[in-house]
Amino acid sequence: MESKMTSNMKSSVNIHRDFIDEVLKADADAQRDAYIDDAGFTLRVMDALPSATSMSTVRTSRASRTSRTSRTSLSPTKRFSIIFGMAMVAAIIATVFLSSDNLLIDASMDVATDTITPSVIALIMITFVTSVVSVSAILGKR
């Protein structure tokens, strides 16, 4: 029974060969051994590139320069505390100013009608807090 299943599965797979792919592969195979003389251009370009060791020296000097001039970074615990605290502030703002079931819809409708309501204020505060947290997280990774 298993052999019937595998034979049925093999027959249901239909491999479609693309004509253009076949032509391109055949052309690439035919041109693979062909050499195009560039009068030493490739060698001159490769010689002009900096070596890997000199690039690592440049990266090291840049890193030491930025670490001396950059601000001291916060510990992961402090970063988590700041982000968690901002999220809690946003949740409290949403809870205090939430006047109905859906803050986003109510605040969007109030903004569309140029009406300032507690929902609009809460949405603005949540957007601000989220933006600050996002920017601090992005800048903290650098």
Q: What is the DSSP string of 50-105?
A: PPHHHHHHHHHHHHHHHHHHSPPPPPHHHHHHHHHHHHHHHHHHHHHH--SS-HHH
Residues 84 and 129: beta-carbon distance below 8 Å: no
Reported as a pLDDT band with limits 50, 70 and 90, residue 65 is low
Residue 44's pLDDT band, with cuts at 50, 70 and 90, is very high
Whole-number average pLDDT of the chain:
75
Q: Which two tokens stand for residue 29?
A: 């195979």
Query: pTM of this prediction?
Result: 0.32
Query: 122 with 97: CB under 8 angstroms?
Result: yes
CA dihedral sign of residues 6, 11, 15, 17:
positive
Confidence grade of residue 63 (pLDDT, cut at 50, 70, 90) = low
How many Cβ atoms are within 10 Å of 108's Cβ, its own excluded? Answer: 14
Cβ atoms < 10 Å from Cβ of 74 = 13
- The whole-number average pLDDT for the span 42-55 is 82
The whole-angstrom separation of Cα 30 and Cα 24 is: 10
Confidence of residue 32 (pLDDT cuts 50, 70, 90): confident
